[in-house]
Structure 1
C-alpha cells in the first residue's frame, strides 16, 4: 500500500492559497452556522434539500468517478444528490453538446434544486453560462480548467474551484536538472478541455521562453503515428502526453507495449490514467475538486450567500515516477527528485 505524498512545488502562490483556503473553509463553516440559526425560518430542511450535480462526463471515467465519490461522501445526509451525466468526453460536435446542455437544463428545472454543482468545462459552457448565469439558483463549479474568464465568470450566483495545471512547475524542475534539454512536444487531443489545455500550455511555454510544439490528434491510430514522429525527432527533448479519453477506441495493452518499445525521450503527464505510458506524472486530484464543491454546497444550504464564497484554485498535486518507462529509455533522475515521487505500479486489469 502506498503512502500518499504531496510534492512541495516551488510556487509561493500555491502555498499561500493552501493556507488561505483552509482559513476560508473554517470561516465559512462558522459564518454559515450562525446564518442558519439567524434565518432558520427561511432555510430548507436538510432532509428536503435537493442538490443537483451536472457532470460533464460519464460513470466509469476515472476523473468523473473521483468527483462523484467525494460528492457522495461529503454531501451525505446534507441533501438529496441527483446527478445528470452529459457524457461529453466522446462528443465533439457543437450540435450534440448543445443538445445535451438543453437536456441538463431541463433536468435542473424538473428537480428544482436548492443548489447545483457543475463539474468540468462542458457543464459550465453548455449549461451554466447559457441558461443560469446570474440566476436565482446558486451554482458551485469544480474541475474548471485554468480559470473561467473564457466563460465570463464570475457570475453573481456562482462560485467554485478552478483546476490549474502543475505542468509548468514540473518543467522548471526538469529544466534545472538538464538546462540544455528544454524543447517540449505536447501530444494533445480534441475537445473543449483539450483546447483550453493547449492554450494554457502555450502561455506557460511562452512565459518560460522555451521552445515547444503542439500536436493534435483525433484517434488512437493518429496518436501512435505522432508518438513515433515525436520520439524520433532529434529536436524534441521532452514529451508531454495529454488526455486520450476522447478517443472512441483505446487498447491499453497494445499501447503500453507500443510505448515501451518506441519511447526514446523523457515523457510526462498530468492525469493518473496516463501514468502507464510516461516516465513521470504530476497529477491533479478529482477528489479534491468534489470535496471542496460539496463543502461549499453545504455552506450555501446553511444560509451562506454565494457571493461571499470566493473562487479558489486546486492545491494538491502528486509527483509519480514510472520505473518501467524510465528503464525503457535508460534514463536516470536525481534522488532529490525521485525521493519526492510515488512509485507507479501497473494495477491488475
Structure 2
C-alpha cells in the first residue's frame, strides 16, 4: 500500500530560486507536451532529446511520463463523452454533453522519481539546473524520528515538491506493508450519516457513537456565511483562503473519526468492517431546505476511504453491503417501517436509535456488493 509523508524544506535564498525555477519549468514543460499531444502529434516515443526544457534530464523524463498519463486520461474521458453522445443521439435526445477541457497544470510543482533523489539524515539531495548543467543540491529538512525510520526501511516512490501556503514542502511516497487479513474475529458494522457522523456495532454487542454532527453542520454553515459575505465584498482571494481552511478542518475531522473507528475495531478483535455502499445517495435521499447543503457537501466517500486504508494497515478487511432498508428493518421480526426522527420503535416492542439500527443491520447483512466504495 502506498502512503506519503510531508517534509518541510529549509532552503537558502539561492536554493529556493533554483527550486521555484524548476517547479515553474516543470509545469510549463508538461503543459507544452500535453498541448502538442492533444493537437494530434504523438508523444509516445518522445525522449529528452525531443523536448526543449530548462530542466535536468531526470526531470524532463518525468515531465514526458506525466504528460503521457494526463493525455491518456484526457483521451479516455473524451471516448466516454463520445459514447454517451452516441447513446443520446440514438434516443433522439436534444441534450449533448460537452467534451472535457484540455487539462492545464497551474500549481507550481515538480515530480522526481526515486532514482533521482536521496534522503540522508536531515537532508534531501535532488537535481536542479545550475548554469545550464544538471547538479544536485542538498536541502536541509526537519524530519521526525518516525519519518527517518520510514525512509530508512521502506521502499520509496516518487517525491513531489510543491508550494503549501507560503512554504515549499516535499511529499515522499513510500510502500507500507499491509498486515495479513484474519478470518477469526468479530464483525463491525459502521453507519455513516450527517447528524451522527458514524456509529459502530460489533457482533460482540459493543456500540460506539463517533463525532458531533451538529458541530460539523454549524462549521459548514459558518464558512458558507463567510464565503457569501466575502463574495459580495468581491474578495476572491479571501474566499479561496476560507474555503481551503474549511477543507483542512473537515479532512482533519474525517482522519480522527476513521482513526477512532479502526482503533475501536482493533480493540474488539474485528476481522471485517462492513459499510454501506452509498451509491447515488445524493439522488436517493429525501432532501429539505434545512439539510440540502449538508447532504450535497458531506464527504461520505472521503471518510469511507480513510476508514478503508487505515483498516488495511491494521490487517482488517473492509466490505460494502447493500444499504437498502438498513435504517428501517427490525432486526428481531424483520418488519420495515420508518423511524420517528432518531427513535426507532417496532410493533414487536424492539426500540433503539435509528443510526444504531443501521449499524446493527449493516453488521448482520449478508448482501455483499463488493470492496469498492462509490458515492
Same fold (TM over 0.5): no
Normalised TM-score (structure 1): 0.26
Normalization by structure 2: what TM-score?
Answer: 0.25
Task: Decide which structure has greater strand share.
Answer: 2
